[in-house]
């Protein structure tokens, strides 16, 4: 069972306190009406599904209830770091440093 650090509680807690909430850094378009069908389809359904570093959303549902973002490796399952929703995507250097 993974340990996940909630950036709001600033505490590491077991995975069972959290739920996964899909890929991170996908913002709802400000005005969906102006999007073509193709653009809207891409927003709705197309995800990166990488082998390796994945930016994803989690929610501390049985804790503070807040959503946050995480960087996790889809091969090892391990978290590199977590950060609050709304913050920019961490750089490769930041992820490397968090892993070391």
Partner 1 sequence: MSTYRVAAKGRIDQSRPVHFTFNGERFEGRKGDTLASALLANGVHLVGRSFKYHRPRGILSAGSEEPNALVGVSRGVGRSEPNTRATVLEVFEGLNTVSQNHWPSLKRDVGTINDAFYMLFSAGFYYKTFMWPKSFWNKVYEPFIRGAAGLGKSPSVPDPDTYASRYAHCDVLVVGSGPAGLAAALEAGRSGAKIILVDEQAELGGSLLSEPAAGINGQPAWQWLETAADELAASKNVTVLTRTTAIGYYHENFLGLCQRVTDHLETLPEGAPRERMWRVRARQVVLAQGSIEKPLVFDGNDRPGVMLAGSARTFLNRYGVKVGNRAVVVTSHDSAWLAAINLAEAGVKVSAIIDIRASVPYHLVDLAKAHGIEVLTGWTVTGTSGRLRVSSVRVNPVTAGGKVGRARNIACDTLLMCGGWTPSVHLFSHTKGKLDWNEERQMFLPGAPTEETRCAGAGNGVFGLLDALKEGAFAGASAATDAGFKAKAGDYQIEGEIACTGISVKELPTDRNSSSAKAFVDFQNDVTAKDIRLAVREGFQSIEHIKRYTTTGMATDQGKTSNINGLAIASDAVRRPTPAVGLTTFRPPYTPTTFGAFAGYTRGSLFEVTRKTAIDGWAEQNGAVFEPVSLWRRAWYFPERGEDMHQSVARECKATRQSLGIFDASTLGKIEIVGPDAAEFINRMYTNAWSKLAPGRLRYGLLLGEDGFIRDDGVIGRLSTDRFHVTTTTGGAARVLATMEDYLQTEWPDLKVWLTSTTEQWAVIALNGPNARQLIEPLVEGIDLSNQAFPHMSVAEGNICGVPTRLFRVSFTGELGFEINVPSRYGRAVWEALYEAGRQYDITPYGTEAMHVMRAEKGYIIVGQDTDGTLTPDDAGLGWAIGKAKPDFVGKRSLTRSDMLKADRKQLVGLMTRDPKTVLEEGAHIVADPNQPVPMKMIGHVTSSYWSEALGRSIALAVIEGGRAREGQTVHVPMPGKTHQAEITGMVFFDPENERLNA
Residue 9 sits in the site that holds partner 1 (CB under 8 A): no
Token look-up 């929610």 returns 59
- Distance of alpha carbon 87 from alpha carbon 82, whole angstroms: 11
Residue 51 sits in the site that holds partner 1 (CB under 8 A): no
Tokens read off for 100: 């070391």
Pick one of 33, 52, 91, 100: the residue that binds partner 1 (CB under 8 A): 33
Nearest by Cα to 53 from 41, 39, 65, 70? 70
Residue 21 sits in the site that holds partner 1 (CB under 8 A): yes
Q: Looking only at residues 66 through 95 of this chain, which bind partner 1 when binding is defined by CB under 8 A?
A: 66-67, 76-78, 85-86
For the CB of residue 38, give the shortest distance to partner 1 in the complex, in Å: 10
CB 94 within 8 A of CB 85: no
87 three-state secondary structure: coil
For the CB of residue 44, give the shortest distance to partner 1 in the complex, in Å: 6
For the CB of residue 3, give the shortest distance to partner 1 in the complex, in Å: 5
């Amino acid at each position: 069972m993974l340990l996940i650090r909630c950036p709001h509680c600033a505490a590491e807690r077991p995975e069972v306190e959290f739920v996964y909430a899909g890929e991170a850094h996908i913002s709802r378009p400000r005005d969906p009406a102006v999007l073509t069908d193709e653009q809207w389809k891409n927003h709705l359904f197309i995800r990166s599904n990488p082998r390796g570093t994945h930016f994803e959303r989690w929610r501390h549902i049985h804790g503070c209830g807040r959503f946050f973002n995480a960087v996790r490796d889809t091969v090892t399952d391990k978290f590199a770091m977590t950060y609050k929703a709304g913050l920019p995507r961490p750089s490769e250097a930041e992820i490397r440093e968090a892993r070391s």
